[in-house]
Amino acid sequence: MKHRADHFRFVHALVLGIISCLVWPHLSFAKAGDAPSDSQRLLSTVASPSGAYAGRSGVNPYESLKSFPKDAIFIVDTGGDLDKYVFKEDVVDGKLRIAIPVSRFFGEVDADGKLQNIQTMIDRGIIGKEARLLINVYDVDNDYQGTEVRPEQDFVFFNGKQLKDPLTSGNDTWSTRSYTIPTSEIKFPKKSSGSDKIVPADNNIEILVDRANAETNIWATEVDWIALEIDGIRPIVLIHGHGGDPSTWTTFTSFLRSDNAPFYLPLSGETESYGCISANAGHVSEIVQKVKDVYGVEKVNLVTHSRGGVDSRRYIRNGNAANVNSLIQLSAPNHGAGIGALGNSCSADDLQRGHFRDNFNYQPIRIPVSGAFNDEYRYLPLYNIEENAVPTLVTIGDDDYVVDTNSATFPWTPTCQGKIDVIESKCPDIIVKSRSIGGETTWPEATNVNRLAAGLDHGGIHDDKSTYDWVISQIGRLTAQVASTTKSLSSTEVSQAATQDENTSLISSDAYLIRSGETKSHTVKVGNTARLYFEVTYPLSTQLQSTLLDNEGKIYLPRAEQESGFGVTRRYVVENPVAGEWKLTIQSVSSRSYSLNVWQISDSIEFASRPEKSSYRPGDTAKFFAYFKDGANSIKNASVIVTILTADEIESSLALYDDGTHSDEISNDGVFTNIFVPAATGGFSYATKANGDGVQRQVNGEFTVVSNDSAFTDHYVVSTVDVNSDGLFDILQADVEVEFGASGDYEIVGSLKDVNGKVIETVLASVQSPAIGKQSIRLNFDGRLIHNNGVDGALRLADLMLRFKIDNQFSLIDYRDVAYQTVIYSSDIFQQSLVVLTGNTSDQGLDADSDLLYDFLRVTLEVKTVMPGSYQLIARLVASGGEEVEWINKTVTLVKGVNLISLDFSGEKIRQLRIDGSYAVKDLLIIGKDTAVSTSLNVTDVYTTDTYRYALFQSIPTDVEVDSANIASLPELPSAGVNVQLVAIIENNGATTDKSILVRFYEGDPSLGVRIGGDHLISGLAEGVGETVSQPWIPVTAGDKDIFVTVNPSRSIVEFDYSNNVGFKTIKVENGIIAAAAAIPAVSRFATFALIGILLAMGIYENRRRLK
**Among residues 229, 264, 285, which one ends one of the domains?**
229
CA distance 643 to 128: 42
Neighbours of 233 (CB within 10 A): 27
The continuous run of DSSP H or E covering 501 comes out as: none
Same domain, 807 and 842: no
pLDDT at position 1106 over 70: no
**Among residues 829, 862, 893, which one ends one of the domains?**
829
Say if 1084 falls within a structural domain: no
* Number of domains observed in the structure of the chain: 6
Same domain, 77 and 117: yes
Neighbours of 540 (CB within 10 A): 12
pLDDT at position 44 over 60: no
CA distance 39 to 1002: 17
Same domain, 502 and 599: yes
Ranked by mean pLDDT, the top range of 111-120, 125-134, 385-394, 520-529 is 111-120
CA distance 1018 to 1029: 8
CA distance 597 to 930: 65
Q: What is the pLDDT of residues 1054-1070, one digit of tens each?
A: 888 888 899 888 888 98
Q: In Å, what is the CA distance from 757 to each residue of 761, 778, 779, 797, 864?
A: 12, 22, 19, 11, 26
pLDDT at position 73 over 60: yes
Structural contact between residues 1029 and 999, judged by C-beta atoms closer than 8 angstroms:
yes
Same domain, 454 and 496: no
Same domain, 90 and 153: yes
pLDDT at position 1077 over 70: no
Say if 897 falls within a structural domain: yes
DSSP β-bridge partners for residue 928 = 871
Residue 697 binned pLDDT confidence (cut-offs 50, 70, 90): low
Identify the three-state secondary structure at position 238.
strand
Identify the three-state secondary structure at position 1075.
helix
| pLDDT of amino acid 417 | 37
| pLDDT of amino acid 843 | 94
Neighbours of 95 (CB within 10 A): 17
Q: What is the pLDDT of residues 342-365, one digit of tens each?
A: 556 787 777 877 777 667 766 554
pLDDT at position 10 over 80: no
- Direct distance between the N- and C-terminal alpha carbons of the chain, in angstroms, rounded to an integer: 13
| pLDDT of amino acid 81 | 92
* Of 1058 and 445, more confident: 1058
Burial code of 912-921, b = ≥16 C-beta within 10 A, e = fewer? bbbbbbebbb
pLDDT at position 664 over 50: yes
Same domain, 87 and 205: yes
Structural contact between residues 326 and 239, judged by C-beta atoms closer than 8 angstroms:
no
Neighbours of 1031 (CB within 10 A): 19
Ranked by mean pLDDT, the top range of 10-14, 53-57, 1097-1101 is 53-57
CATH of the domain at 368: 3.40.50.1820
pLDDT > 90 fraction of the chain, expressed in percent and rounded: 29
Neighbours of 791 (CB within 10 A): 15
Comparing 105-114, 486-495, 632-641, 1014-1023, the range with the smallest average pLDDT is: 486-495
Same domain, 926 and 974: no
pLDDT at position 429 over 70: no
Structural contact between residues 782 and 737, judged by C-beta atoms closer than 8 angstroms:
no
Q: HSE (CB half, 13 Å, CA atoms) of 648?
A: 8
Max Cα separation, the chain?
A: 119
911, 912, 918, 921: CA torsion to nearest 10: -110
Burial class of 1066 by CB neighbour count within 10 A (0 to 12, 13 to 18, 19+): exposed
Same domain, 948 and 983: no
**Among residues 901, 919, 952, which one ends one of the domains?**
952
Residue 995 binned pLDDT confidence (cut-offs 50, 70, 90): very high
Say if 3 falls within a structural domain: no
| pLDDT of amino acid 930 | 61
Burial code of 193-219, b = ≥16 C-beta within 10 A, e = fewer? eeeeebebbbbebbbbbbebbeeebbb
By residue range, what is the domain housing residue 921?
Answer: 835-952
Strand bridging mode 263-264 / 236-239: parallel
What is the Cα Rg of the chain in Å? 36
| pLDDT of amino acid 483 | 47
Residue 255 binned pLDDT confidence (cut-offs 50, 70, 90): very high
Q: Supply the angle between the helices 250-259 and 465-483 in degrees, to the nearest 10.
A: 50
Same domain, 257 and 380: yes
Say if 11 falls within a structural domain: no
CATH of the domain at 681: 2.60.40.1930
Strand order in the sheet with 431-434: 362-365, 376-381, 431-434
Structural contact between residues 1096 and 1103, judged by C-beta atoms closer than 8 angstroms:
no
Q: What is the pLDDT of residues 537-549, one digit of tens each?
A: 877 656 677 888 8
| pLDDT of amino acid 151 | 87
Neighbours of 279 (CB within 10 A): 16
Ranked by mean pLDDT, the top range of 167-176, 427-436, 565-574 is 167-176
pLDDT at position 50 over 60: no
Q: Which of 228, 215, 208 is nearest to 167 (CA)?
A: 208
CA distance 47 to 79: 6
CA distance 643 to 592: 12
pLDDT > 70 fraction of the chain, expressed in percent and rounded: 76
Comparing 41-45, 196-200, 606-610, the range with the smallest average pLDDT is: 41-45
CA distance 196 to 635: 63
CA 486 to chain centre: 12
pLDDT at position 1090 over 80: no
Q: At 125, phi and psi to the nearest 5?
A: 80, 15
| pLDDT of amino acid 39 | 31
Same domain, 540 and 688: yes
| pLDDT of amino acid 394 | 83
| pLDDT of amino acid 499 | 29
Neighbours of 320 (CB within 10 A): 18
pLDDT at position 117 over 80: yes
Strand order in the sheet with 592-599: 508-514, 592-599, 531-538, 567-575, 560-564
CA distance 520 to 583: 10
Residue 335 binned pLDDT confidence (cut-offs 50, 70, 90): confident
Region 190-202 average pLDDT: 84
Say if 1097 falls within a structural domain: no
CA distance 541 to 142: 9
Q: What is the pLDDT of residues 851-864, one digit of tens each?
A: 888 999 999 999 98
Region 951-962 average pLDDT: 88
* Of 299 and 22, more confident: 299
Computed over every residue of the chain, the mean pLDDT equals 77
DSSP assigned state of 266: P
CA distance 593 to 362: 62
DSSP β-bridge partners for residue 668 = none
CATH of the domain at 880: 2.60.40
CA distance 949 to 911: 9
475, 476, 478, 483: CA torsion to nearest 10: 140
CA 437 to chain centre: 59
Region 168-195 average pLDDT: 86
Region 130-149 average pLDDT: 86
Say if 296 falls within a structural domain: yes
| pLDDT of amino acid 446 | 39
Identify the three-state secondary structure at position 664.
coil
Q: What is the pLDDT of residues 307-325, one digit of tens each?
A: 999 899 888 888 788 899 8
Q: Which of 351, 267, 358, 366 is nearest to 306 (CA)?
A: 351
Same domain, 884 and 997: no
Structural contact between residues 512 and 593, judged by C-beta atoms closer than 8 angstroms:
yes
Comparing 103-112, 302-311, 374-383, 733-742, the range with the smallest average pLDDT is: 374-383
Identify the three-state secondary structure at position 250.
helix
pLDDT at position 943 over 90: yes
Say if 721 falls within a structural domain: no
The continuous run of DSSP H or E covering 1060 comes out as: none
* Of 535 and 64, more confident: 535
Helix, strand, coil % over all residues of the chain, rounded to 5: 20, 40, 40
Region 833-847 average pLDDT: 88
CATH of the domain at 1001: 2.60.40.10
CA distance 997 to 610: 67
Region 130-145 average pLDDT: 87
Say if 695 falls within a structural domain: yes
Same domain, 153 and 251: no
Amino acid 305 reads H
